[in-house]
Amino acid sequence: MSALLVELLCEELPPKALKRLGEAFADGVFKGLEKRGLVEEGASARMFATPRRLAVEVSAVKAASAARAAEVKLMPASVGLDASGKATPALVKKLEAAGLKDLDPSKLKRRVDGKAEMLFADAMTPAVPLAQALQAAIDESI
């Protein structure tokens, strides 16, 4: 856990809009990192803005997010399972695409979602390194 400084070099920004642009950039980067689980509790963001750069310093940032359990919504049960309860080719392709090809279709959860009974699978989302999550947070912020 350490502090992170992100600096964005740019063309001449209007001086009257600097504070607002700096706050928006800092808030976007902080919330993007927070959403991805890379900011420790109690961390804060401090913004910097000049006519040619926007920057944010985030205290207490992790090097990578933790792997966590997630539920993946697959497809309607009527499409994914045949009359005998076996997986259809569509479900097999969907499981492969979701990285769950080794999952036994009998372990899928069934739940009504809206008007149809849907199939859900439990999965683990892998840890995301800071560099990858930071790029996504900056893209969203801009």
Spatial distance between the Cα atoms of 17 and 48, rounded to a whole number of angstroms: 13
- % of the chain residues with pLDDT over 90: 50
Spatial distance between the Cα atoms of 98 and 55, rounded to a whole number of angstroms: 36
What digits encode the pLDDT tens for the residues 43-100? 999 999 999 999 999 999 999 988 888 888 888 888 888 888 888 899 889 888 888 8
pTM of the model: 0.68
Of residues 63, 78, 83, the one with CA closest to residue 1: 63
Laid out side by side, the sheet with 45-50 consists of 2-9, 53-61, 45-50
C-alpha distance from residue 121 to each of 13, 71, 126 (Å): 48, 6, 15
Helices (runs of H) and strands (runs of E) counted in the chain: 4, 6
pLDDT at site 19? 95
Residue type for 53, please? R
Please give the full DSSP string across 38-72, using - where no structure is assigned: -B-TT--EEEEEETTEEEEEEEEE-SBPPPEEEEE
What digits encode the pLDDT tens for the residues 94-113? 888 888 878 887 788 888 88
CA dihedral of residues 125, 129, 135, 140 (deg, nearest 10): 40
Spatial distance between the Cα atoms of 53 and 11, rounded to a whole number of angstroms: 8
